[in-house]
Amino acid sequence: METRVPRARRAGIKKNFDLTKLARRRCVKCWRYDRRLDRHHKGHEYLFACLLPDKYLARYNEFRVEDVVDLCVKHHKSIHVIYKRRLGAWGFWTLLAKQDGKVTFVQAERFRKRLVNECHVWLRRGAGLRLKQELASSS
Ligand SMILES: [Zn+2]
Ligand SMILES: [Zn+2]
């Protein structure tokens, strides 16, 4: 019994020093928490779920931690403007038109992965320092 008490206390102390657990939800781009926050899918899975529901819809609805980031309304709008432009520059909309509004899973994955990367690059330019560190250590 006596040996258990200090062990539990140590665990408590460790927890208090874990900043990620103490931090409140913030926009990962500007670090503000006083605006409404949206969970943004980094790979724009919404778009791909519309095009290939069998492949993407279930996962989209899961809002997996590795797929989404918190963004304030302002920055959520900004990243989607960037996505739209990039997809244009990469020929996605042209491809979609050429194939009667359809894409294959292989094609979709290629664009989805580029969007995820685009989102990471965009976030690195922002004030999301903690995310920056997280990305550096995971890639
Ligand atoms: Zn923001
Ligand atoms: Zn979004």
* pLDDT, tens digit, 9 for 90 and up, residues 96-131: 999 999 999 999 999 999 999 999 999 988 655 555
Query: Is the confidence at residue 12, as pLDDT, over 60?
Result: no
Q: How far is the CA of 40 from the centre of ligand 2 (A)?
A: 4
Ligand having the closest approach to the CA of 67: 2
Residue 126 phi, psi (nearest 5): -100, -165
Mean local confidence (pLDDT), 79-94: 97
Q: How far is the CA of 18 from the centre of ligand 2 (A)?
A: 28
8 A C-beta contact, residue 74 and residue 109:
no
Higher-pLDDT residue of 30 and 24 is 30
Q: How far is the CA of 22 from the centre of ligand 2 (A)?
A: 25
Mean local confidence (pLDDT), 59-67: 94
H, E, C per residue of 43-64: CCHHHHHHHCHHHHHHHHHHCC
pLDDT band at 4 (very low <50, low <70, confident <90, very high): low
pTM of the model: 0.74
Domain boundaries, the chain: 26-138
8 A C-beta contact, residue 38 and residue 74:
no
The pLDDT, as a whole number, for residue 98 is: 97
Its sign, for the CA torsion 20, 26, 28, 31, is negative
Give residues whose Cβ lies within 5 Å of ion ligand 1: 27, 29-30, 72, 75
Of 29-38, 49-58, 80-89, the range with the lowest mean pLDDT is 29-38
Q: How far is the CA of 51 from the centre of ligand 2 (A)?
A: 16
Q: Which residues pair with 71 in a beta bridge?
A: 38
Q: How far is the CA of 67 from the centre of ligand 1 (A)?
A: 18
The pLDDT, as a whole number, for residue 134 is: 60
